Chain A
Amino acid sequence: MRTVRMLAIGTLMHVKQISRSPFELAIALVVPVVQATLAVYLFRSGGEEHRLLEAAVGAGVMGVWSSVLFGSGGAIQTQRWMGTLEMIMLAPRRPVLVILPITIATGLTGIYALLATLLWGRFLYGIKLDFAHPVAFVVAAVVCVVALGMFGLLLASTFVLMRNANALANTLEYPVWLVSGMLLPITVLPAWTSPIAAALPTTWGARALREATSGGPVWPSVGICLGVSLLCLVLGGLALTHVERRARAAATLALA
């Protein structure tokens, strides 16, 4: 119970902190809206007007991924720059419990993107928010955010070994959008991308949201998304513990 409380309070604190950054807010709100507009015009041009809601949701998930990628990827680096990394690592809890709230918070901030693209589509382009499974959509959105937060932990723990993780994060934005099928079905991609897609929680999260939007079996995708994410959590936790011990032994925790 104490662990759940700690995770919840930690997440709330980091959401509040991120929400006060004009940069984070502008990126979470404006860029996904631009991408949603692009998606709407692309789908209209292709005569796929009946899939505009799917396009808006897809653009929103792209925004969630960007938020997690840049936020979680740089989570430890950001704490290091702010001079708070030593303090949070001194907390008498496992490193994974201290960093996980940060990465989940970046996923929750990404929810802004999903909401922004849906509201933008509704009010500017008159897209009816006519979800095939509305309740499942909400559940899938929450699972997707938490799952991406866990995936973010794995990113955070591996990126900490690289000096300029923020720059490297740029490289991973489009590949994951592409391979996870956030805007286009992965069936149109070369066959060798399928195993990669299957290993990514983003694929299952995006699929669950798409199925909740346009119809389909939502729950298997939600379940697989959670399963893959829990695996990421375990791997991320192990990597984080290893990195923390190494950094303490070498006295390099505060060094970039």
Chain B
Amino acid sequence: MKTLRLMGLGGVIAYRALFNWTTPGMFVGTLLVGPLFQLLFFAYLGRQLQVADDRFYIVGNAVLTASLACVFGGTMAVANERRYGTLGHVLLSPRSRTAIFWGRVIPYAGNGLLIAVVTLAVGALLLGLRIPLGALPGLLLAMAAGSLACGFFGLTLGALGLRFRDVWVVSNVSVALLLLLTGVNVPASELPGWMVTVGGWLPITHAAEAARRLAAGDGLAAAAPALGQELLVGAGYAVAAVVLLKIFEVESRRRASLDAL
């Protein structure tokens, strides 16, 4: 129970401290309006090229929009501690590193889920997509799984920030790669095999697949395998993040480079 409290409360406090630069107007503009235009851009492009129907683009991109907040948020959870000079204090804590850093991901995943839900709702309204009411709980589950997996993916990238000076390059390139490799904008059948394989190891790929099945009215049973795969991918990144954080922490201590930017 104490660990859960640490994860929840610690995550929220860190979120408020590290995500302190935003205002409500800025939040809406950056995290809600921007992703909505991403959805519209690909939906109109898909319509014009007749690659796939509106459902493919609206549902897929709505799930993907969570990646912006989650990947950058997960990265910020580590990188900004270092930037603000508080990473050393966090690492001096006698509590479990795993619980501390996993807890950091939760608010960002919540952020991502909110973005995905708003983007899906507004995108569907603007472009006239009907989603069966019964599919909504399953869709929420798929978007939550995608957001969480993205958050842990971002945390893994943030861990790399302890080793590499400019982690934001990695984050920006990763977010761009998610557009291509997750099959959200180009159907997997049209991508080369190696891209599909790499996409299978990335967050969002399976969540988008599950969400599309649910929006098509296939039911939770049909979407369950993809949902399970997304959760597995997320769990994999959660473990990878903790292992990398441990390795780089030990190395940073040895080389006295923990706070060196």
The 0/1 profile, CB within 8 Å of A marked 1, for residues 42-86 of chain B is: 001111111100000000000000001000000000000000000
B interface, over-half SS: helix
| B49 contact from A42, A174, A178, Cβ within 8 A | A42
A2-10, A22-30, A203-211 - interface stretch: A22-30
B5-13, B185-193, B218-226 - interface stretch: B185-193
List CB contacts (< 8 Å) of A19-49 with chain B. 22-23, 26-27, 30-31, 34-35, 37-38, 41-48
| B48 contact from A35, A38, A185, Cβ within 8 A | A185
- Hey, which chain B residues are within 8 Å of A37, CB to CB? 180
Smallest CB separation, B169 vs chain A (Å): 4
Number of A-B contacts (CB under 8 A): 92
B29-37, B100-108, B128-136, B145-153 - interface stretch: B29-37
Smallest CB separation, B70 vs chain A (Å): 15
- Hey, which chain B residues are within 8 Å of A42, CB to CB? 45-46, 49, 51, 185-186
Q: A252 at interface (Cβ–Cβ under 8 A)?
A: no
- Hey, which chain B residues are within 8 Å of A23, CB to CB? 166, 168-169
Q: B177 at interface (Cβ–Cβ under 8 A)?
A: yes
Given contacts A27-B169, A178-B40, 14 further A-B contacts (CB under 8 A): A34-B179, A38-B180, A42-B45, A43-B49, A45-B49, A163-B21, A167-B22, A167-B30, A174-B40, A178-B41, A178-B44, A184-B45, A185-B48, A189-B44
The 9 A-B residue pairs with the shortest CB-CB distance in the complex, in nearest-first order:
A46-B49, A174-B37, A45-B190, A34-B176, A171-B34, A26-B169, A171-B29, A41-B186, A45-B51
Q: List 13 A-B contacts (CB under 8 A).
A: A23-B169, A27-B173, A31-B173, A38-B186, A42-B45, A42-B186, A45-B186, A45-B190, A46-B51, A164-B26, A174-B40, A183-B45, A184-B48
Residues of B within 8 A of A (CB): 21-22, 26, 29-30, 33-34, 37-38, 40-41, 44-51, 68, 166, 168-169, 172-173, 176-177, 179-180, 185-187, 190-191
